[in-house]
Amino acid sequence: MIDGNKTTFVWLYSQAVNTNLTMNFDSTRAINYVEFVTTTDGGRFVGKANIEYLNEAGQWIVAGSINSDDFQDGATSITFEEVKAKGIRFVVTEAGSTNWLKVAEFNAANTNAKNIITVNGVGETKLNDMDMRTFVNPTGEGEVVYNVYESAKVNSLRIYNAAGQWDGVSVYAVTEDGETELAVVEDKSNVNTHVYDVSALKGVKSFRIAFTDGIYLNEIETESDRFVALNTYEAEKKVDAAKVLSENTAMYTEDSLKVIKEKIAAVEALLADMAIGEPVTQEALDAAMADMAETVNNLEAVEGAFEMGDVNHSGIVDIDDATLIQMHLAKALGNTAFYKENADYSKDGKITVYDATLIQLMLAS
């Protein structure tokens, strides 16, 4: 019904006194203006009616009244002091027709507020439909917000303005760090089309097109690279574990801790990019994780920090260490932490199954 089209309407079976039409809002709104439009055929409203709003206490309050004698082509509106409303309703107070009643438009607004139009989100407006016949033409001060789809890395923004009027228009890219005002790429733009380059920005979530004296917009397009978001749960767990080791100055040398912190930072940089919508490949993440794991496995221990046999640096020698020695010999460790310098339990200068056996015998004694 709120579509600017008189051919769509609500048809009430009566327009007798107390006939009413109620519109509830999804949340409390600040309003100071209500528009009412009926048709001009036999179903038009004839008579008088009150326009009421539902306040936050749940009471219906009269905001003003309308008279069909004052309608212009079936339309009228009232303006009043700004109020907080949970809904509005039209109530017939004086009937002038026995016909059914057609209501083509019934809407509330706040003329004191900026005109805000959202694309690809709540209150979606079709400005990315490749159809120049669809447009928005708000007046006064306001903004159009274009939300970027998830899993898309935006490289450029293109705006079509059939009127060619750009005075008072500013365009901003919005990221987690705030807004960046964009400059027009002159060699790719003309009087009706403006192009903006955002390839250097990370994590663009939306664009804000602000205007001071209205704007005419037919189309908004983005040039983007789509990507598949990766599951980072296991990676985050391993980073947390590596961070614990990186702070253990009592057990590992300063130089080796410096290296592991660099490897952790490399993984975290990829995870941070993913969190703000930057494309990261599985191969890049896997390579950084493997690099970090290798560094963890080769941390240089402070002399005497771990006793011989404690191959996983848990602080004790137990059956897990014997198992890890056997896995090492079978080349089945994968990325499991294993510190060779603590594996020669027999102190014969080499790592063999005998070392695992000695640990088992020690534990059994």
Report the b/e string of 243-261 with b at 16+ CB within 10 A. Answer: eebbeeeeebeeebbeebb
The structure tokens listed for 139 are: 């007046």
* Whole-number pLDDT of residue 305: 72
DSSP character at residue 213: S
* Whole-number pLDDT of residue 122: 44
* Domain ranges, ordered by start, for the chain: 10-109, 115-226, 233-364
pTM of the model: 0.45
SS3 for 122?
coil
pLDDT tens, per residue, the chain with 365 residues: 555 566 778 999 999 999 999 999 888 888 999 999 999 888 899 999 999 999 999 999 999 999 999 999 889 999 999 999 999 999 999 999 999 999 998 988 887 767 677 776 544 455 766 665 567 777 778 888 888 876 567 889 999 987 788 999 999 999 888 999 999 999 999 999 999 999 889 888 889 999 988 888 888 888 877 666 677 778 888 999 899 889 888 778 889 899 999 999 999 998 888 777 677 888 889 899 999 988 988 888 777 677 788 888 888 889 999 999 999 899 988 878 888 888 888 888 899 998 898 889 888 87
* Whole-number pLDDT of residue 134: 66
The CATH classification number of 115-226 equals 2.60.120.260
Range 74-78, long-range pairs (CB < 8 A, 24+ positions): 74/6, 74/37, 74/38, 74/39, 74/40, 74/44, 74/104, 75/35, 75/36, 75/37, 75/38, 75/105, 76/35, 76/36, 76/37, 77/33, 77/34, 77/35, 77/36, 78/33, 78/34, 78/51
Q: Which CATH number fits domain 10-109: 3.60.20.10, 3.40.50.620, 1.20.272.10, 2.60.120.260?
A: 2.60.120.260
Residue with tokens 């500013």: 170
The structure tokens listed for 191 are: 């009087």
- CATH architecture classification, 233-364: Orthogonal Bundle (1.10)
CA distances 68 to 11, 46, 52, 242, Å, are 17, 5, 17, 75
136 touches 144 (CB < 8 A):
yes
Q: Do 10-109 and 233-364 agree at the fold level?
A: no
* Whole-number pLDDT of residue 3: 54
Query: Where does residue 30 fall: left (phi above 0), alpha (psi -120 to 50 degrees), or beta otherwise?
Result: beta
Cβ neighbours, 10 Å, residue 203: 19
SS3 for 326?
helix
Q: Give helix then strand counts, H and E, for the chain.
A: 5, 14
* Whole-number pLDDT of residue 314: 83
* Whole-number pLDDT of residue 227: 65
